[in-house]
Copies of this chain bind each other. A is one copy, B any other.
Amino acid sequence: MEEVKTSSRTRASLVAQSSADSRLRRRAQTVIPGGMYGHLNSVALPEDFPQFFKSGKGCRVRDVDDNEYIDFMCSWGPVVLGHAYPSVDEAADAEVRQGICLNGPGEIFVQLAELLVSEVSHAEWAMFGKNGTDATSLGLRIARTATTKGKVLIAKGAYHGIGTWSLPPGSAGVTDRDQADTIYFEYNDLESLDHAIAEAEGDVASVVVTPIRHEVHRDLELASPAFAVGVRKRCDEMGACLMIDDIRCGFRLDLAGSWESLGVRPDLTAYSKALANGHPLAALLGSEFLRDAATLVTATGSFWFSAPPMAAAVKTIETLKSENGIGRMEIAGQRFQAGLAEQADTHGLHVTISGPPQLPFMTFEGDKDEAKAFAWASECVRRGVYLHPFHNWFVSTAHDDQSIDDALSRTDDAFAAVRSRFGGT
Protein backbone atom coordinates (compact mmCIF):
# COMPACT_ATOMS: atom_id res chain seq x y z
CA MET A 1 0.00 0.00 0.00
CA GLU A 2 1.33 3.39 -1.00
CA GLU A 3 1.93 5.86 1.80
CA VAL A 4 0.27 9.26 1.65
CA LYS A 5 2.97 11.90 1.27
CA THR A 6 3.40 13.62 4.61
CA SER A 7 6.66 15.58 4.35
CA SER A 8 5.01 18.99 4.17
CA ARG A 9 2.32 18.22 6.70
CA THR A 10 1.95 19.94 10.01
CA ARG A 11 2.19 18.24 13.35
CA ALA A 12 -1.58 18.39 13.66
CA SER A 13 -2.04 16.48 10.45
CA LEU A 14 0.62 13.95 11.41
CA VAL A 15 -1.42 13.25 14.50
CA ALA A 16 -4.40 12.98 12.17
CA GLN A 17 -2.76 10.06 10.33
CA SER A 18 -4.83 7.84 12.57
CA SER A 19 -8.07 9.57 11.58
CA ALA A 20 -10.78 7.74 9.68
CA ASP A 21 -10.17 10.15 6.79
CA SER A 22 -6.47 9.26 6.63
CA ARG A 23 -7.17 5.56 6.81
CA LEU A 24 -9.65 5.83 3.93
CA ARG A 25 -7.19 7.92 1.92
CA ARG A 26 -4.59 5.20 2.30
CA ARG A 27 -7.03 2.48 1.26
CA ALA A 28 -8.14 4.62 -1.69
CA GLN A 29 -4.54 5.04 -2.86
CA THR A 30 -4.55 1.33 -3.68
CA VAL A 31 -7.78 1.05 -5.68
CA ILE A 32 -8.49 4.56 -6.99
CA PRO A 33 -6.09 6.35 -9.38
CA GLY A 34 -4.38 9.03 -7.31
CA GLY A 35 -6.58 8.09 -4.36
CA MET A 36 -9.35 10.38 -5.67
CA TYR A 37 -10.22 12.32 -8.81
CA GLY A 38 -12.57 14.98 -10.07
CA HIS A 39 -13.94 18.16 -8.60
CA LEU A 40 -14.37 16.69 -5.12
CA ASN A 41 -10.69 15.74 -4.91
CA SER A 42 -9.30 17.46 -1.83
CA VAL A 43 -5.71 17.26 -3.05
CA ALA A 44 -5.95 20.80 -4.41
CA LEU A 45 -7.36 22.05 -1.11
CA PRO A 46 -5.64 23.02 2.14
CA GLU A 47 -4.64 19.93 4.10
CA ASP A 48 -7.21 20.56 6.80
CA PHE A 49 -10.00 19.73 4.36
CA PRO A 50 -11.44 16.27 4.81
CA GLN A 51 -11.78 14.01 1.78
CA PHE A 52 -14.45 11.61 3.00
CA PHE A 53 -17.89 12.48 4.29
CA LYS A 54 -20.44 10.61 6.31
CA SER A 55 -23.64 12.64 6.27
CA GLY A 56 -25.41 15.91 5.72
CA LYS A 57 -28.54 17.48 7.19
CA GLY A 58 -29.86 20.89 6.26
CA CYS A 59 -26.91 23.28 5.88
CA ARG A 60 -24.51 21.08 7.84
CA VAL A 61 -22.29 18.19 6.78
CA ARG A 62 -20.28 15.74 8.80
CA ASP A 63 -17.01 14.12 7.73
CA VAL A 64 -16.03 10.53 8.48
CA ASP A 65 -14.31 11.66 11.69
CA ASP A 66 -17.56 13.21 12.88
CA ASN A 67 -16.41 16.81 12.48
CA GLU A 68 -19.39 19.00 11.64
CA TYR A 69 -19.28 21.90 9.21
CA ILE A 70 -21.69 24.62 8.15
CA ASP A 71 -21.64 23.83 4.46
CA PHE A 72 -21.20 26.56 1.86
CA MET A 73 -20.44 24.21 -1.01
CA CYS A 74 -23.73 22.25 -1.07
CA SER A 75 -21.91 19.40 -2.85
CA TRP A 76 -20.73 21.97 -5.43
CA GLY A 77 -24.28 22.98 -6.21
CA PRO A 78 -26.73 20.07 -6.24
CA VAL A 79 -28.04 20.63 -2.73
CA VAL A 80 -30.42 23.60 -2.99
CA LEU A 81 -32.96 22.83 -0.24
CA GLY A 82 -30.39 21.55 2.22
CA HIS A 83 -29.04 18.05 2.69
CA ALA A 84 -31.42 15.12 3.17
CA TYR A 85 -34.55 17.17 2.55
CA PRO A 86 -37.28 14.77 3.68
CA SER A 87 -40.11 15.40 1.20
CA VAL A 88 -37.75 15.24 -1.78
CA ASP A 89 -36.13 12.00 -0.65
CA GLU A 90 -39.52 10.51 0.20
CA ALA A 91 -40.85 11.31 -3.27
CA ALA A 92 -37.84 9.57 -4.78
CA ASP A 93 -38.08 6.63 -2.42
CA ALA A 94 -41.74 6.06 -3.28
CA GLU A 95 -40.61 5.55 -6.89
CA VAL A 96 -37.67 3.35 -5.89
CA ARG A 97 -40.10 1.03 -4.13
CA GLN A 98 -42.03 0.68 -7.42
CA GLY A 99 -38.83 -0.28 -9.26
CA ILE A 100 -36.00 2.17 -9.85
CA CYS A 101 -35.55 1.35 -13.52
CA LEU A 102 -38.32 -0.04 -15.73
CA ASN A 103 -38.89 -0.77 -19.43
CA GLY A 104 -40.19 2.72 -20.00
CA PRO A 105 -40.70 5.96 -18.11
CA GLY A 106 -43.50 6.54 -15.64
CA GLU A 107 -46.06 9.32 -15.51
CA ILE A 108 -43.57 11.45 -13.55
CA PHE A 109 -41.46 11.79 -16.74
CA VAL A 110 -44.31 13.68 -18.40
CA GLN A 111 -45.17 15.62 -15.25
CA LEU A 112 -41.61 16.88 -14.84
CA ALA A 113 -41.39 17.89 -18.49
CA GLU A 114 -44.70 19.74 -18.16
CA LEU A 115 -43.51 21.50 -15.01
CA LEU A 116 -40.21 22.61 -16.57
CA VAL A 117 -41.93 23.79 -19.74
CA SER A 118 -44.37 25.81 -17.66
CA GLU A 119 -41.64 27.36 -15.49
CA VAL A 120 -38.80 28.09 -17.91
CA SER A 121 -39.90 30.89 -20.21
CA HIS A 122 -38.40 29.80 -23.53
CA ALA A 123 -38.91 26.06 -23.09
CA GLU A 124 -41.40 24.10 -25.17
CA TRP A 125 -39.91 20.65 -24.63
CA ALA A 126 -37.60 18.78 -22.28
CA MET A 127 -35.18 15.87 -22.48
CA PHE A 128 -33.35 14.27 -19.58
CA GLY A 129 -29.95 12.76 -18.85
CA LYS A 130 -27.77 12.10 -15.83
CA ASN A 131 -24.82 14.51 -16.12
CA GLY A 132 -24.55 18.18 -17.01
CA THR A 133 -22.29 16.99 -19.82
CA ASP A 134 -25.18 14.91 -21.19
CA ALA A 135 -27.28 18.06 -21.51
CA THR A 136 -24.66 20.37 -23.03
CA SER A 137 -23.38 17.73 -25.47
CA LEU A 138 -26.90 16.76 -26.50
CA GLY A 139 -27.74 20.43 -26.97
CA LEU A 140 -24.78 20.89 -29.27
CA ARG A 141 -25.82 17.94 -31.44
CA ILE A 142 -29.37 19.29 -31.65
CA ALA A 143 -28.09 22.75 -32.60
CA ARG A 144 -25.90 21.23 -35.30
CA THR A 145 -28.81 19.19 -36.62
CA ALA A 146 -31.12 22.19 -36.78
CA THR A 147 -28.60 24.58 -38.29
CA THR A 148 -26.69 22.06 -40.45
CA LYS A 149 -23.60 23.87 -39.18
CA GLY A 150 -20.73 22.46 -37.15
CA LYS A 151 -18.89 24.91 -34.93
CA VAL A 152 -19.50 25.83 -31.32
CA LEU A 153 -18.35 29.06 -29.69
CA ILE A 154 -17.56 29.01 -25.98
CA ALA A 155 -15.91 31.42 -23.57
CA LYS A 156 -12.26 30.88 -22.77
CA GLY A 157 -11.95 29.23 -19.37
CA ALA A 158 -15.65 28.38 -19.11
CA TYR A 159 -16.56 24.90 -17.90
CA HIS A 160 -19.25 23.06 -19.84
CA GLY A 161 -18.57 19.51 -18.68
CA ILE A 162 -16.23 16.78 -19.87
CA GLY A 163 -17.32 16.44 -23.48
CA THR A 164 -14.09 16.53 -25.47
CA TRP A 165 -15.39 19.54 -27.42
CA SER A 166 -15.45 21.65 -24.26
CA LEU A 167 -12.45 20.45 -22.23
CA PRO A 168 -9.56 22.93 -22.12
CA PRO A 169 -7.24 22.64 -25.13
CA GLY A 170 -4.41 20.26 -24.38
CA SER A 171 -6.42 18.20 -21.89
CA ALA A 172 -5.13 14.66 -21.48
CA GLY A 173 -6.63 12.22 -23.96
CA VAL A 174 -8.23 14.86 -26.18
CA THR A 175 -7.09 15.11 -29.80
CA ASP A 176 -6.96 18.19 -32.02
CA ARG A 177 -9.76 16.63 -34.06
CA ASP A 178 -11.98 16.48 -30.96
CA GLN A 179 -11.70 20.24 -30.65
CA ALA A 180 -11.54 21.25 -34.30
CA ASP A 181 -15.10 22.58 -34.11
CA THR A 182 -14.61 24.66 -30.94
CA ILE A 183 -13.77 28.37 -31.10
CA TYR A 184 -13.16 30.58 -28.06
CA PHE A 185 -14.15 34.10 -27.12
CA GLU A 186 -13.80 36.24 -24.01
CA TYR A 187 -16.82 36.36 -21.71
CA ASN A 188 -18.55 39.75 -21.62
CA ASP A 189 -16.61 40.88 -24.70
CA LEU A 190 -18.66 41.25 -27.87
CA GLU A 191 -15.67 42.26 -29.93
CA SER A 192 -14.00 39.01 -29.02
CA LEU A 193 -17.21 37.15 -29.86
CA ASP A 194 -17.24 38.85 -33.27
CA HIS A 195 -13.70 37.64 -33.90
CA ALA A 196 -14.77 34.10 -33.04
CA ILE A 197 -17.77 34.38 -35.35
CA ALA A 198 -15.53 35.60 -38.15
CA GLU A 199 -13.15 32.72 -37.55
CA ALA A 200 -16.06 30.28 -37.90
CA GLU A 201 -16.73 31.53 -41.45
CA GLY A 202 -20.48 31.14 -41.34
CA ASP A 203 -20.39 27.68 -39.76
CA VAL A 204 -21.66 28.43 -36.23
CA ALA A 205 -24.18 25.91 -34.86
CA SER A 206 -24.27 27.29 -31.33
CA VAL A 207 -22.91 29.83 -28.91
CA VAL A 208 -22.79 28.27 -25.44
CA VAL A 209 -22.55 30.57 -22.43
CA THR A 210 -22.92 30.34 -18.68
CA PRO A 211 -25.35 32.95 -17.30
CA ILE A 212 -22.55 34.46 -15.21
CA ARG A 213 -18.80 34.12 -15.50
CA HIS A 214 -17.94 31.60 -12.82
CA GLU A 215 -14.49 30.28 -13.52
CA VAL A 216 -12.29 29.09 -10.70
CA HIS A 217 -9.46 31.28 -9.38
CA ARG A 218 -11.18 34.60 -10.08
CA ASP A 219 -14.00 36.83 -8.92
CA LEU A 220 -17.42 35.97 -10.28
CA GLU A 221 -18.66 38.35 -12.93
CA LEU A 222 -22.27 38.93 -13.91
CA ALA A 223 -23.11 39.03 -17.60
CA SER A 224 -23.38 42.62 -18.74
CA PRO A 225 -26.82 43.34 -20.21
CA ALA A 226 -25.15 44.51 -23.42
CA PHE A 227 -23.27 41.22 -23.69
CA ALA A 228 -26.36 39.10 -23.14
CA VAL A 229 -28.39 41.12 -25.65
CA GLY A 230 -25.48 41.14 -28.07
CA VAL A 231 -25.01 37.36 -27.95
CA ARG A 232 -28.73 36.87 -28.62
CA LYS A 233 -28.66 39.33 -31.52
CA ARG A 234 -25.65 37.70 -33.15
CA CYS A 235 -27.17 34.23 -32.84
CA ASP A 236 -30.34 35.49 -34.49
CA GLU A 237 -28.43 37.19 -37.29
CA MET A 238 -26.32 34.17 -38.15
CA GLY A 239 -29.01 31.55 -37.50
CA ALA A 240 -27.14 29.91 -34.63
CA CYS A 241 -28.62 28.53 -31.42
CA LEU A 242 -27.96 30.26 -28.12
CA MET A 243 -27.50 27.68 -25.40
CA ILE A 244 -27.30 28.77 -21.77
CA ASP A 245 -25.33 26.34 -19.66
CA ASP A 246 -27.28 26.87 -16.46
CA ILE A 247 -25.92 23.78 -14.74
CA ARG A 248 -24.22 25.67 -11.94
CA CYS A 249 -26.66 28.58 -11.51
CA GLY A 250 -29.97 26.97 -12.47
CA PHE A 251 -32.71 26.94 -9.81
CA ARG A 252 -30.75 29.45 -7.71
CA LEU A 253 -31.20 32.69 -9.68
CA ASP A 254 -34.54 32.61 -11.51
CA LEU A 255 -36.83 29.67 -12.23
CA ALA A 256 -37.86 31.26 -15.53
CA GLY A 257 -34.25 31.33 -16.76
CA SER A 258 -31.05 32.93 -15.53
CA TRP A 259 -31.03 35.70 -18.16
CA GLU A 260 -34.75 36.41 -17.80
CA SER A 261 -34.08 39.59 -15.82
CA LEU A 262 -31.92 40.78 -18.72
CA GLY A 263 -34.76 40.14 -21.14
CA VAL A 264 -32.74 37.53 -23.00
CA ARG A 265 -34.08 34.09 -23.75
CA PRO A 266 -31.94 31.27 -25.10
CA ASP A 267 -32.93 28.54 -27.54
CA LEU A 268 -31.56 25.77 -25.35
CA THR A 269 -30.91 25.58 -21.62
CA ALA A 270 -28.86 22.87 -19.94
CA TYR A 271 -29.73 22.10 -16.31
CA SER A 272 -28.44 19.60 -13.79
CA LYS A 273 -26.99 19.95 -10.26
CA ALA A 274 -29.75 21.63 -8.21
CA LEU A 275 -32.58 20.26 -10.37
CA ALA A 276 -33.39 17.39 -7.99
CA ASN A 277 -31.63 18.46 -4.76
CA GLY A 278 -28.81 15.97 -5.24
CA HIS A 279 -30.62 13.15 -7.01
CA PRO A 280 -28.87 12.39 -10.30
CA LEU A 281 -30.59 14.20 -13.14
CA ALA A 282 -29.90 16.59 -15.98
CA ALA A 283 -32.31 18.29 -18.34
CA LEU A 284 -32.06 19.95 -21.71
CA LEU A 285 -34.88 22.39 -22.44
CA GLY A 286 -35.51 23.73 -25.89
CA SER A 287 -37.53 26.19 -27.92
CA GLU A 288 -40.18 25.08 -30.38
CA PHE A 289 -38.11 25.45 -33.55
CA LEU A 290 -35.63 22.88 -32.23
CA ARG A 291 -38.21 20.19 -31.52
CA ASP A 292 -37.79 18.36 -34.82
CA ALA A 293 -34.00 18.38 -34.60
CA ALA A 294 -34.29 17.02 -31.08
CA THR A 295 -36.16 13.97 -32.39
CA LEU A 296 -33.29 13.17 -34.77
CA VAL A 297 -30.34 12.90 -32.40
CA THR A 298 -29.40 9.71 -30.57
CA ALA A 299 -30.14 10.53 -26.96
CA THR A 300 -30.21 7.76 -24.43
CA GLY A 301 -28.65 6.21 -21.38
CA SER A 302 -29.38 3.18 -19.24
CA PHE A 303 -30.79 5.23 -16.36
CA TRP A 304 -32.10 8.29 -18.17
CA PHE A 305 -35.75 7.38 -17.69
CA SER A 306 -35.62 6.34 -14.03
CA ALA A 307 -38.50 7.84 -12.11
CA PRO A 308 -36.96 8.53 -8.66
CA PRO A 309 -34.78 11.54 -9.60
CA MET A 310 -37.69 12.93 -11.63
CA ALA A 311 -39.99 12.71 -8.62
CA ALA A 312 -37.26 14.41 -6.59
CA ALA A 313 -37.04 17.17 -9.20
CA VAL A 314 -40.78 17.85 -9.20
CA LYS A 315 -40.75 18.11 -5.41
CA THR A 316 -37.62 20.31 -5.43
CA ILE A 317 -39.06 22.79 -7.91
CA GLU A 318 -42.46 22.89 -6.18
CA THR A 319 -40.73 23.53 -2.86
CA LEU A 320 -38.53 26.27 -4.27
CA LYS A 321 -41.69 27.94 -5.59
CA SER A 322 -43.94 27.50 -2.59
CA GLU A 323 -41.30 28.55 -0.09
CA ASN A 324 -39.80 31.41 -2.09
CA GLY A 325 -36.56 29.47 -2.10
CA ILE A 326 -34.68 31.73 -4.47
CA GLY A 327 -35.58 34.83 -2.47
CA ARG A 328 -34.53 33.14 0.73
CA MET A 329 -31.19 32.04 -0.70
CA GLU A 330 -30.62 35.58 -1.92
CA ILE A 331 -31.25 36.99 1.56
CA ALA A 332 -29.04 34.39 3.23
CA GLY A 333 -26.26 34.97 0.72
CA GLN A 334 -26.47 38.74 1.14
CA ARG A 335 -26.22 38.34 4.90
CA PHE A 336 -23.13 36.20 4.49
CA GLN A 337 -21.55 38.51 1.92
CA ALA A 338 -22.24 41.62 4.04
CA GLY A 339 -20.93 39.95 7.17
CA LEU A 340 -17.71 38.87 5.49
CA ALA A 341 -17.17 42.33 4.01
CA GLU A 342 -17.60 43.94 7.40
CA GLN A 343 -15.29 41.46 9.12
CA ALA A 344 -12.56 41.87 6.52
CA ASP A 345 -12.78 45.62 6.90
CA THR A 346 -12.61 45.40 10.67
CA HIS A 347 -9.48 43.29 10.41
CA GLY A 348 -7.94 45.66 7.90
CA LEU A 349 -8.01 43.09 5.11
CA HIS A 350 -8.95 44.09 1.57
CA VAL A 351 -11.22 41.57 -0.08
CA THR A 352 -13.52 41.41 -3.07
CA ILE A 353 -16.92 39.87 -2.49
CA SER A 354 -18.43 38.72 -5.78
CA GLY A 355 -21.20 36.65 -7.27
CA PRO A 356 -24.94 36.75 -6.97
CA PRO A 357 -25.66 36.17 -3.26
CA GLN A 358 -26.89 32.63 -3.97
CA LEU A 359 -23.42 31.80 -5.32
CA PRO A 360 -21.14 34.00 -3.22
CA PHE A 361 -17.37 34.15 -3.43
CA MET A 362 -14.53 36.13 -1.93
CA THR A 363 -10.94 36.82 -2.91
CA PHE A 364 -8.20 38.69 -1.12
CA GLU A 365 -6.78 41.61 -3.06
CA GLY A 366 -3.24 41.14 -4.35
CA ASP A 367 -3.26 37.60 -3.04
CA LYS A 368 -0.17 36.12 -4.64
CA ASP A 369 -0.52 32.37 -5.23
CA GLU A 370 -3.81 32.56 -3.32
CA ALA A 371 -1.84 32.21 -0.10
CA LYS A 372 -4.36 34.21 1.92
CA ALA A 373 -7.34 32.50 0.36
CA PHE A 374 -5.87 29.12 1.24
CA ALA A 375 -4.97 30.21 4.77
CA TRP A 376 -8.42 31.70 5.36
CA ALA A 377 -10.30 28.69 3.97
CA SER A 378 -8.09 26.47 6.09
CA GLU A 379 -8.86 28.47 9.23
CA CYS A 380 -12.57 28.34 8.33
CA VAL A 381 -12.59 24.58 7.89
CA ARG A 382 -10.77 24.07 11.19
CA ARG A 383 -13.55 26.11 12.79
CA GLY A 384 -16.35 24.18 11.13
CA VAL A 385 -17.15 26.32 8.10
CA TYR A 386 -16.74 24.44 4.82
CA LEU A 387 -16.06 26.67 1.83
CA HIS A 388 -13.58 26.76 -1.03
CA PRO A 389 -10.47 28.88 -1.58
CA PHE A 390 -10.80 29.23 -5.36
CA HIS A 391 -14.23 27.98 -6.50
CA ASN A 392 -17.49 29.87 -5.91
CA TRP A 393 -19.61 28.79 -2.98
CA PHE A 394 -23.30 27.89 -2.82
CA VAL A 395 -26.11 28.82 -0.46
CA SER A 396 -29.19 26.66 0.05
CA THR A 397 -32.62 27.42 1.48
CA ALA A 398 -31.47 25.66 4.66
CA HIS A 399 -29.13 28.57 5.41
CA ASP A 400 -31.21 30.62 7.83
CA ASP A 401 -30.12 33.75 9.72
CA GLN A 402 -28.92 31.69 12.65
CA SER A 403 -26.66 29.42 10.61
CA ILE A 404 -25.25 32.39 8.69
CA ASP A 405 -24.51 34.19 11.96
CA ASP A 406 -23.04 31.01 13.39
CA ALA A 407 -20.76 30.77 10.35
CA LEU A 408 -19.81 34.44 10.62
CA SER A 409 -18.83 34.02 14.25
CA ARG A 410 -16.23 31.52 13.03
CA THR A 411 -15.07 33.34 9.90
CA ASP A 412 -14.25 36.32 12.09
CA ASP A 413 -11.61 34.27 13.86
CA ALA A 414 -10.36 33.05 10.49
CA PHE A 415 -9.88 36.65 9.35
CA ALA A 416 -8.02 37.39 12.60
CA ALA A 417 -5.71 34.45 11.96
CA VAL A 418 -5.00 35.63 8.39
CA ARG A 419 -4.36 39.15 9.61
CA SER A 420 -2.01 37.85 12.23
CA ARG A 421 -0.11 35.72 9.73
CA PHE A 422 0.00 38.07 6.75
CA GLY A 423 -0.49 41.50 8.30
CA GLY A 424 -2.98 44.07 6.99
CA THR A 425 -3.30 45.16 3.40
Tell me the A residues contacting B by CB distance below 8 Å: 20, 24, 27-28, 30-34, 36-40, 42, 50-57, 61, 63-64, 71, 73, 75-79, 83-84, 89, 92-93, 96-107, 109-110, 113-114, 116-117, 124-127, 129-134, 137, 140-145, 150, 161-162, 164-165, 167, 171-175, 177-178, 180-181, 247, 272-273, 277-280, 286, 291-306, 309, 386
- Chain B residue at minimum C-beta to C-beta distance from A296: B172
With beta carbons under 8 angstroms apart, the residue of B27, B73, B125, B164 that contacts A103 is: B73
CB distance from A26 to the nearest CB of B (A): 10
Cα distance, A78 to B129, chains bound together (Å)? 16
* CA–CA, A165 and B302, complex, Å: 19
Q: Are A110 and B162 in contact (CB under 8 A)?
A: no
- Determine the distance from Cα of A294 to Cα of B29 in the docked complex, in whole angstroms: 13
Given A33-B295, A107-B24: A130 and B127 interface contact (C-beta under 8 Å): no
Query: With A33-B125, A142-B173, A302-B77 known to touch, is A101 a contact of B294 (CB < 8 Å)?
Result: no
What is the CA–CA distance of A374 and B97 in the complex, to the nearest angstrom? Answer: 32
Known A103-B386, A162-B298, A165-B178; 6 more pairs at CB < 8 Å: A31-B110, A32-B125, A55-B99, A56-B99, A89-B96, A131-B131
Report the Cα distance A352→B209, complex, angstroms.
Answer: 52
Q: Which residue of B lies closest to A73 (CB)?
A: B103
Please measure, in the bound complex, the distance between the C-alpha atom of A180 and the C-alpha atom of B177, giving whole angstroms. Answer: 7
7 A–B pairs (Cβ distance < 8 Å), ordered by A: A30-B117, A32-B126, A141-B172, A150-B177, A173-B297, A177-B178, A278-B303
Q: Tell me which residues across on chain B come within 8 A of A38, comparing CB atoms.
A: 299-301, 304-305
Complex Cα gap A31–B301 (Å): 19
Are the CB atoms of A305 and B127 closer together than 8 Å? Answer: no
Give the residues in chain B near A247, CB-CB below 8 Å: 302
- A243–chain B nearest beta-carbon distance, Å: 13
Contact A37 B131 (CB under 8 A): no
Selected contact of A54 from candidates B51, B83, B98, B300, CB within 8 Å: B98
Are B302's CB and A272's CB within 8 A?
A: yes
